[in-house]
Amino acid sequence: MEARELQALTEQAAEHLARGKRVVVFTGAGISTESGIPDFRGPQGLWRRENPENYTYQRFLSDPDWRKQSWKRFAGGGMAEGAEPNPAHYAVAELDRLGLLDCVITQNIDGLHQRAGVHDDRVIELHGTFKWVKCLDCGARFPREEIKDRILAGEETPDCPQCHGMLKTAVIAFGEPMPVWETLEAERRSRACDVCLVIGSSLVVYPAAYMPLFAHQAGAKLIIINQGETPLDSLADVRIDARAGQTMTLIMDGVKRRLTR
């Protein structure tokens, strides 16, 4: 995209955001690629190297050997563990500081929105989080580091210290039910917003991808920033095919200029 075209589109997006009263930001893997976390479907994505069917909830429950492998990988850390927020995350946090942000609805599990400064209460993690481990029996939650230390100390399949039930990361696996409160709250916020800003999502994973559609159907302005096409492009009021960090920096420059006039 040429610089002049990008500047014009970011100014349009800034105009919508500056006028917004309830802005919902919807983010996917594309916002975190600039933090060194590959997306799942891109050229360097996990699903280019491994079969996603191996990562089903049903296999985790039924295959003890797979659970051992899963916990071993868990203890080894991952790209999200050492990642830092990038300019796009900080731009979203700035929307919050300016009083424009209603919430962030994210498909990501990396916690980078919170680390950039968005309060936990304003982040709805539709696909869970890598920061916690949950008991599938009693529902108790434990910090990632607590369970990681147990595995590094020699446990192959840690169980719940409260009820001895089966533990699993709080990341939603294929075939695992979506979290009820998060899904319902995301829909409610989407239908009530006046601007929906999509950053870094191909909008092909459902039910998460319904959220921008709900916002559009309710009359919200729809802004999509994503490298590559999405099924909702034809509905967007502003569509920008560019990197998230540079684009959001330009947009926030425009928002701040409008708010200080």
1-36+85-127+178-261 is a CATH 3.30.420.40 domain: no
Residue % of the chain over a pLDDT of 90: 86
Report pTM: 0.92
How many C-beta atoms lie closer than 10 Å to residue 117's C-beta? Answer: 14
Average pLDDT value over all residues in the chain: 93
With residue 181 as reference, give the H or E element that holds it: helix 180-192
Give pLDDT tens digits for 143-165. 999 999 999 999 999 999 999 99
Window from 18-22, 172-176, 242-246 with minimum mean pLDDT: 172-176
In the chain, the DSSP E strands lie at: 23-27, 101-106, 123-125, 128-135, 141-143, 167-171, 195-199, 221-225, 238-240
Q: Is 56 exposed, middle or buried (0-12, 13-18, 19+ CB in 10 A)?
A: middle
Q: What tokens does 248 get?
A: 């959001």
d(C-alpha 15, C-alpha 197), whole Å: 12
N-terminal to C-terminal alpha carbon distance within the chain: 29
Q: Is 10 helix (H, G, I), strand (E, B) or coil?
A: helix
> Could you tell me which of 54, 111, 43, 118 has the C-alpha nearest to residue 81?
111
- pLDDT score recorded for residue 190: 98
Phi, psi of 103 (to 5 degrees): -165, 165
| Residue type, position 47, single letter | W
Tell me the CA distances in angstroms from 153 to 66, 147, 157, 225, one per residue in order: 19, 10, 12, 44
Whether residue 41 has pLDDT greater than 80? no
Residue 247 has pLDDT above 90, yes or no: yes
Reading the block at residue 143, the tokens are 């910090």
78 pLDDT band, cuts 50/70/90, is low
Catalytic site residue from 16, 89, 113, 127: 127
Q: What is the largest CA-CA distance in the chain?
A: 62
Domain 38-78+128-171: which CATH number of 3.40.50.1000, 3.40.50.300, 3.30.1600.10, 3.40.50.1370: 3.30.1600.10
Q: In the chain, where does the domain assigned CATH 3.40.50.1220 lie? A: 1-36+85-127+178-261
- 216 is known as an active-site residue: no
Portions of the chain given CATH number 3.30.1600.10 = 38-78+128-171
